């Protein structure tokens, strides 16, 4: 993890202290990060900071995504299968990327790929000339391990960290954008998530996410049992507005919903 990203981290336990390594270095590969406020220590191994406080209670699909075999086959087999099952279509990878890229605009600061999985989109962003630093956050060690391997193979510099949404381990106003590709429906507490996104974004920073519209009542019950939480546009718009995000937009490719909102800035308030 690059020093520039380490400086932006915030302790997940006390949510006050800025995390610090034992000794400053351009790239942190091993060694703990410590919070000067509450004295909590977090391990770093092979450049990945583990900021999970307690073992997550994984259920349904999330448990499956923590399997090493699933992580290794995620991009080629598992992700296309999930897209067909949830979206009733398989999206063209290049068109999908261009959609997210256009909605991100020109971020004025680091970009967090929240629920990054194996870092499929994060790698492409990181390889763009002049693009800000890219961080990938996920709760699955298997996905992060595969993400590191894929990033090295692609020659992409992505800073991976393990942490569990809805809380973001970043200081206030640290991020230029937060991207959530196919991961919004894994987060149960939407209100808390949106407050965290708004807190961590810089003024004018964008939140870009994709999810799918809720299915019928019978199918919806099965989805909830699998640990999925799809929402309709009205619910998502209201949650973004309640957190102070403005300029809400959506691209609808039913049942896929791709969303964008911004943190208010002096310009947007004029």
Cβ neighbourhood burial of 257 (10 Å; 0-12, 13-18, 19+): buried
pTM given for the model: 0.95
Q: What is the pLDDT of residues 28-86, one digit of tens each?
A: 999 899 999 999 999 999 999 999 988 877 777 888 899 999 999 999 999 999 999 88
Average pLDDT per run of 10 along the chain, which is 270 residues long?
94 95 90 94 95 82 90 95 87 93 97 97 97 97 97 97 96 98 96 98 98 84 89 97 98 94 80
Provide the pairing of β-strand 201-212 with 256-263.
Answer: antiparallel
Specify the pLDDT at position 270.
57
Specify the pLDDT at position 118.
97
Specify the pLDDT at position 225.
86
Provide the pairing of β-strand 48-50 with 158-162.
Answer: parallel
Specify the pLDDT at position 150.
97
Peptide bond into 164 cis (omega under 30): no
User: Which domains are assigned to the chain?
Assistant: 1-51 (no CATH), 54-263 (3.40.50.150)
With beta carbons less than 8 A apart as the criterion, state whether 114 and 168 touch. yes
Specify the pLDDT at position 40.
96
CA dist 178 → 33, 81, 171, 203, 259 (Å): 23, 25, 13, 13, 12
Specify the pLDDT at position 234.
96
């Amino acid at each position: 993890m690059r020093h520039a990203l380490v400086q932006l981290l915030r302790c997940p336990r006390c949510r006050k202290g800025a995390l610090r390594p034992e000794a400053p270095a351009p790239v942190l590969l091993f060694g703990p990060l410590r919070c000067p406020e509450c004295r909590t220590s977090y391990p770093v191994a092979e450049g990945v900071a583990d900021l999970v406080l307690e073992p997550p209670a994984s259920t349904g699909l999330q448990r499956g995504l923590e399997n090493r075999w699933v992580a290794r086959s995620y991009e080629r087999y598992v992700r296309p299968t999930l897209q067909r099952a949830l979206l009733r279509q398989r999206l063209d990878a290049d068109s999908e990327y261009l959609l997210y890229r256009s909605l991100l605009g020109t971020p004025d600061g680091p970009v967090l790929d929240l629920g990054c999985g194996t870092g499929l989109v994060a790698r492409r962003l990181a390889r763009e000339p002049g693009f800000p630093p890219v961080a990938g956050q996920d709760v699955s060690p298997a996905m992060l391990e595969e993400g590191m391997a894929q990033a090295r193979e692609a020659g992409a510099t992505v800073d991976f960290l393990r942490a569990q949404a809805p809380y973001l381990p970043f200081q206030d106003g640290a991020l230029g954008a937060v991207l959530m590709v196919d991961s919004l429906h894994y987060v149960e507490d939407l209100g808390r998530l949106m407050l965290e996104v708004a807190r961590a974004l810089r003024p004018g920073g964008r939140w870009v996410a994709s999810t799918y519209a809720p299915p019928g009542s019978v199918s919806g019950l099965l989805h909830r049992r699998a640990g999925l939480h799809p929402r309709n546009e009205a619910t998502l718009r209201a949650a973004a507005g309640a957190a102070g995000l403005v300029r809400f937009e959506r691209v609808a490719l039913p049942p896929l919903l791709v969303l964008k909102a911004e943190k208010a800035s002096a310009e947007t308030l004029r």
